[in-house]
Amino acid sequence: MEISAIIPTFNEAPTITKTLDAISRLVNVDEVVIVDGGSADKTVEIIENYELKKPLKLIKFGEANRGKQLHEGTRHASHEIFWFLHADTRPVQGCAREIKKYMNYKEVAGGNFQVIFDGGSRWARFMTRLHPQLQSIGLVYGDSAIFAARDIYEKVGGYKSLPIFEDVDLYKRLRKKGDFMFLTKSVTTSSRRFQDRRYAVSFAKWSLFQALYWLGVPARLLAKYYKAVR
């Protein structure tokens, strides 16, 4: 089984090179599909000029909706495993090998990784400690580099065009079709959300939105009041 890594981008010039550097070093990633949502910075130029050590497809999608971009990426992917990576998330050597090992079992629908938020801020350290606790209660986010078997992804209908919580929604549907593996290898993701002093307010707001979502408030309604960092 081979892996197609799928990455959505939108104005990711400050981070995309580090992500591509990390992926380029992975020997078990067989293809990279990048879906750009209409970046106005140099994201597309950086990608087009990057010498990746594996096949690369750049799809100029033109709409900045992460769920739609990720789903569009699966339409252009060639392989049996989809690995969904945020543009500021960097996997370490061995992650892709672990994916292939577990996806050999037919009962496994997909999985994700432990997350480390980079930087030395106290909020980054707090979120690194909190993330495993969120996973233990079924809150799985795209920062954790979700992967899925192609056939099961297609059976559950893939990513929906939700403006927020598209990753939590996909996890819930994948989990109904098979085992979902929480792997101990880590991916490092950007802590840029935690760099200003208003993070405590942002975290409280995010927690409220998550609670409202689980209580049944539609994601499209919540998105009207939610400003994404990326």
The pTM of this model reads 0.89
Each residue of 98-156: pLDDT tens digit?
A: 999 999 999 999 999 999 988 777 777 877 887 777 777 777 889 999 999 999 999 99
Q: Are strands 147-149 and 81-84 parallel, antiparallel or unpaired?
A: antiparallel
For the chain, give every domain's residue range: 3-193
Ordered DSSP codes for the chain: --EEEEEEESS-TTTHHHHHHHHHT-TT--EEEEEE---SSSHHHHHHH---SS-EEEEE-----HHHHHHHHHHH--SSEEEE--TTEEEPTTHHHHHHHHTTSTTEEEEEEEEEE-SS-HHHHHHHHHHHHHHHTT---GGG--EEEHHHHHHTT-----SS-HHHHHHHHHHTTSEEEEEEEEEEE--GGGSSTTHHHHHHHHHHHHHHHHTT--HHHHHTT-----
Residue 33 has pLDDT above 90, yes or no: yes
Domain covering 3-193, topology: Spore Coat Polysaccharide Biosynthesis Protein SpsA; Chain A (3.90.550)
Answer whether residue 177 shows pLDDT above 70: yes
